[in-house]
Structure 1
Amino acid sequence: MRVTGVLRILAVLFTLATTWLFVNTYFNRAGMKSVSLRSWLGGRVKPTKGHTVQHKCGNQRPCPANSFAFRITSGAANVVGPSMCFDNVKVLSSIKNNVGRGLNIALVNGSSGQLLKTAAFDMYSGDVQHLLDFLKAISAGTIVLVASYDDPASKLNDEARKLFAELGSSYAAKLAFRDNWVFLGGKGLKNKSPFEQHLKNDKETNKYDGWPELLEMEGCVPKKLE
């Protein structure tokens, strides 16, 4: 077997293990029941001949039972705003007129999938205290979706970064000026979330003039079982 083949197998196994860890600990403090690995992975839906199956949020693969489909797209430079889809509902987008420069956040009920709140926080010239108050008020069992737009980090202080880390983020501590960031975590999560992408602002690799290319992330997040 070629080395590249071995590396691909290892990457798949690592992804499965990380996701299972997330499933097994997700909302543990809120009393989530265990979910079997088989039910989490689920079975693939076979498309009917001549018919293309449309999965929730336009994702490439269907989600198993007892999970929600999601897709998060960051902003593109300071021109195109971010968007979020959760359980086949567009919860945040420029068309809905609920996005803004900085950090865009959607809160979703972890059991029902119902949208609770959306907010945008200007991290270039805004007041970080508004973000701190928002994060501290998140209740246990809430799914948190985050997408950056333009500049997500100039006003981000250590306290805010710590609060994001407590939601499961691995990259909030190193988020910098004009970086791109998409993240899905949860209040009560004991381990790091596998649902996160971070791209640094680097003039050598930036796709746009002064900004990195946009990020897009899709996946399935388990429901919080009562």
Structure 2
Amino acid sequence: MKGHSGQESQGLGPPPRHSQQLPVVPSAGPLKVVLLVFASLCAWYSGYLLAELIPDAPLSSAAYSIRNIGERPVLKAPAPKRQKCDHWTPCPSDTYAYRLLSGGGKDKYAKICFEDSLLMGGKLGNVARGINIAVVNYVTGNVTATRCFDMYEGDNSGPMTKFIQSAPPKSLLLMVTYDDGSTRLKDDAKNTIEALGSKEIRNMKFRSSWVFLAAKGFELPSEIQREKINHSDTKNNRYSGWPAEIQIEGCIPKEPS
């Protein structure tokens, strides 16, 4: 039994395994090198083409352009064209442009502008305390006389009356106050100015701001702005002891030719 069992043990054992040969796989090292070289060449060629297509420009400019993509462009309106006598809108060619500005405060001198020419003003040195008057020939548009009449000191109401009355027919009279224009203003001057169409001359008070456009020997259209007044008021004065300056402006139709 023992011998049989030993033989059985030897006969029934697992059969010996024969060694099997596996296929040889070539190493991947050389293939990786080839692919890497090919990819490098492609990348270099792509970069070369891109460099040829993009124009030369500073990197800072390119970065600035990229940063400003999407920003809304800033549109600047053109500066408005300056009009005669600083009007907002131009006067028609068959009219005269005018602008009368009263004084306001010690350093705010009165001004008279006609057809873009300064007839009286601080720059010209021909305005003074009182009532300032410029006379313009209505037919030619040329200034014929300018005078200022002190209404605070001296007797200048009479000379001013004669000056107004001496203006020839077909004249425009442009009047503005600087400082006080009423203290020594007498009835003869008030009557003369009232006859020219003023509705405020009798309402003049100490340091009232007053402007007036008058026509002698002809009528102005009713829609033209001709007169304005602003009284001194300690509660409402813009300047210490002085009311705010006032102005009128417009376009006067020329005489038909």
How far does residue 77 in structure 1 lie from its aligned partner after superposition? 2.4
SS at match of 1:143: strand
Aligned with 1:74 (options 80, 95, 102) = 102
Say whether residues 1:145 and 2:169 are aligned partners: no
Matches within 5 A, 1:102-141: 102-127=130-155, 128-141=157-170
Residues 223, 190 of structure 1: alpha-carbon distance in 2 compared, 3 angstrom cutoff: closer
Say whether residues 1:188 and 2:217 are aligned partners: yes
Look up the match of 2:248: 217
Look up the match of 2:11: none
How far does residue 190 in structure 1 lie from its aligned partner after superposition? 5.2
In 2, distance between residues paired with 1:51 and 1:203? 39
SS at match of 1:79: coil
SS at match of 1:96: coil
Which 10-residue stretch deviates more, 93-102 or 187-196? Answer: 187-196
Aligned with 1:58 (options 86, 89, 98) = 86
For the 8 Å contact 1:111–1:225, the answer to whether it is kept is no
How far does residue 61 in structure 1 lie from its aligned partner after superposition? 1.2
Look up the match of 1:29: none
Stretches of structure 2 that go unaligned for 5 or more consecutive residues are 1-76
How far does residue 216 in structure 1 lie from its aligned partner after superposition? 2.1
How far does residue 94 in structure 1 lie from its aligned partner after superposition? 1.0
How far does residue 60 in structure 1 lie from its aligned partner after superposition? 0.8
Q: Deviations over 1:78-118 (max 9, x none)?
A: 33221111001111111111111000110001111101110
Q: Deviations over 1:49-85 (max 9, x none)?
A: 7352221111011112321001111111233221111
SS at match of 2:160: helix
**TM-score, scaled relative to structure 1:** 0.74
In 2, distance between residues paired with 1:61 and 1:196? 20
Residues 67, 124 of structure 1: alpha-carbon distance in 2 compared, 3 angstrom cutoff: same
SS at match of 1:85: strand
Cα RMSD of the aligned pairs, angstroms, is 1.8
Q: How many residues align?
A: 178
2:232 maps to a residue whose letter is: N
For the 8 Å contact 2:136–2:145, the answer to whether it is kept is yes
In 1, distance between residues paired with 2:104 and 2:180? 11
How far does residue 224 in structure 1 lie from its aligned partner after superposition? 2.9
Stretches of structure 1 that go unaligned for 5 or more consecutive residues are 1-48
Look up the match of 2:195: 166
For the 8 Å contact 2:175–2:211, the answer to whether it is kept is yes
Could you list the structure 1 runs, at least 4 aligned residues long, displaced by more than 6 angstroms after superposition: none
**TM-score, scaled relative to structure 2:** 0.65
Say whether residues 1:91 and 2:91 are aligned partners: no
In 2, distance between residues paired with 1:153 and 1:119? 17
In 2, distance between residues paired with 1:103 and 1:162? 15
Look up the match of 2:205: 176
Q: Deviations over 1:116-173 (max 9, x none)?
A: 1100000001221111111111111100111100001111111111111122211112
In 2, distance between residues paired with 1:164 and 1:200? 19
